Amino acid sequence: MRRGRRIAIDVGEARIGVASCDPDGLIATPVETVPGRDVPAARRRIKAIVEEYEPIEVVVGLPRSLSGREGPAAAKARAFAQDVAKVIAPVPVRLVDERMSTVTAAQGLRASGVKAKKGRSVVDQAAAVVILQSALESERTSGRAPGEGVEVVI
């Protein structure tokens, strides 16, 4: 397992959840929810978070269907990952499978007593935590960086 902090991003239609982990990659915690409708502003905020946390990499959730196919949401996540990779280079960006992360996060919040209306503001952060924990576990068990690398295309 590589040592160093990571940042995870859950790209949603209206909001972008952000999570981080400790330098040992043991536990992921929520960072914030970034408004997602203004993409240039969202990119700037993500860049500021990366500069503050100094991660070894950023993982972006890639929403696939249960069958593994990629639809419009995956295309949006790929495009966002590409944009982020350009503005945070040389920090690498990786796409990781995030099937069911939002569902898992919402169920966890409900189980802990968070009301649905109030939970909307934190479900994206919780989904980013789920994505990051999954990526950390994948690296821990395989010994390889999770998901697929994003090439910086200029």
Residues 6+ apart with CB under 8 A from 120: 15
Q: Give the range among 1-10, 83-92, 104-113, 140-149 with minimum mean pLDDT.
A: 104-113
Average pLDDT over residues 78-102: 89
pLDDT grade for 149, boundaries at 50, 70 and 90: very high
* Stated length of the chain: 154
Mode of pairing for the β-strands spanning 15-21 and 28-35:
antiparallel
Which residue type sits at 13? E
Distance CA 147, CA 100 (A): 16
So what's the pLDDT on residue 116?
Answer: 56
Query: Where residue 120 falls among pLDDT bands split at 50, 70, 90?
Result: low
> What pTM was computed for the model?
0.86
- Which class for 116: exposed (0-12), middle (13-18), buried (19 or more C-beta within 10 A)? exposed
Q: Considering only residues 6 and 106, tell me which one the structure prediction assigns the higher pLDDT.
A: 6
**CATH superfamily ID and name for 6-141:** YqgF/RNase H-like domain (3.30.420.140)
Residue 94, token pair as written in the block: 């990786």
Can you give the pLDDT at residue 3?
Answer: 95
Distance CA 106, CA 20 (A): 19
Structure tokens at 132: 């990051």
Give the pLDDT of residue 98. Answer: 83
3-state secondary structure of 31: strand
Give the angle subtended at the CA of 77 by the CAs of 75 and 79, to the nearest 5°: 70
